Amino acid sequence: MATHRLLVAGHAVYTGVDYSEANKESSWFLEDYQKVKGEAQSFLDHIRLGIEEAALDPEALLLFSGGQTRRAAGPRSEGLSYWVVSEAANWFGHPEVRNRTFTEEHARDSFENLLFSLCRFYELAGHYPETITVVSYTLKEARFRTLHRDAVRWPSEYFRFVGTPVPPEAKGAKEGEARTVASFAADPYGCGGELLAKRLRRDPFAVGPIHPSRCPEMRSLLGYCGPDMFSGRLPWNGL
């Protein structure tokens, strides 16, 4: 039975045709700030790390999360991009993980990566996970471990984070992360301001958020908006 949710947060859409070149920036649709040497390899590192973590735990369900975020890339999702790159790479030597790997294709930012993948896990497994592991850039660890985890009120003792550094040439990454952290600190659920505007920009095909009918016990949390922490009952803590 799946008890461990492994989440790999997507960062780009794959647009190449030769998957042997997935480590090249030209194979991905990148925003200007992502067009640095080593960016594409960092995506592969996250994919590989998620697969390796899943291979170590037969009760892990691996989710590649990210929606159809770039109009110019077409209606392709980040989550599916990571899945097909994994398939082309023969699951980096762990083909047994394939049957435990799925996509979440609605998330438009890091908070939705965490939130929507909880719903997706329930949809696939029929229950909520006991533990969560997030794979992303180490630069984003505080964002996930504190702000986002607190916002969904997931117990800290059942949360892990593993990651890789941002590429050395990613200038301004620390400053950009500081701005995002400040925004989520003021608006934990991304209800307004630049966080909401960014979500709207990242949904050019009007896919929308994940529908609460897919995880009814999360309905209130999925629809919650406000600067204060959600205080309703949640299926993973009984509060």
DSSP for the chain reads ---EEEEEE---EE--S-GGGTTSGGGEE--GGG-STTHHHHHHHHHHHHHHHHHH-TTEEEEEE-----GGG-S--HHHHHHHHHHHTGGGG-GGGGGGEEEE----SHHHHHHHHHHHHHHHHSS--SEEEEEEEGGGHHIIIIIIHHHHT--GGGEEEEEEPPPTT-TTHHHHHHHHHHHHHH-TT--SHHHHHHHHHT-TT---SPPGGGSGGGHHHHT--SSSPP-S--TTT--
Burial of residue 20 (CB within 10 Å: 0-12, 13-18, 19+) is exposed
Q: What is the pLDDT of residue 239?
A: 39
Predicted pLDDT at 114: 98
Place of tokens 């492994």: 6
Instruction: Confirm whether pTM is higher than 0.85.
Output: yes
How far apart CA 127 and CA 21 sit, in angstroms, is: 38
Q: What is the pLDDT of residue 237?
A: 78
Residue the block writes with tokens 């529908």: 211
What domains can you pick out in the chain, each with its CATH number?
A: 4-222 (3.40.50.620)
From first to last of its 239 residues, the chain has per-residue pLDDT tens of: 789 999 999 999 999 989 989 999 999 999 888 998 999 999 999 999 999 999 999 999 999 999 999 999 999 999 999 999 999 999 999 999 999 999 999 999 999 999 999 999 999 999 999 999 999 999 999 999 999 999 999 999 999 999 999 998 888 888 999 999 999 999 999 999 999 999 999 999 999 999 999 999 999 999 999 999 999 999 997 53
Tell me what pLDDT residue 238 has.
58
- Say if residues 84 and 36 touch (Cβ distance below 8 Å): no
Please report where in the chains the tokens 């794979």 appear, as a residue: 135
d(CA 56, CA 45): 17
CA distances from 4 to 37, 56, 103, 140, 168 (A): 33, 11, 15, 21, 32
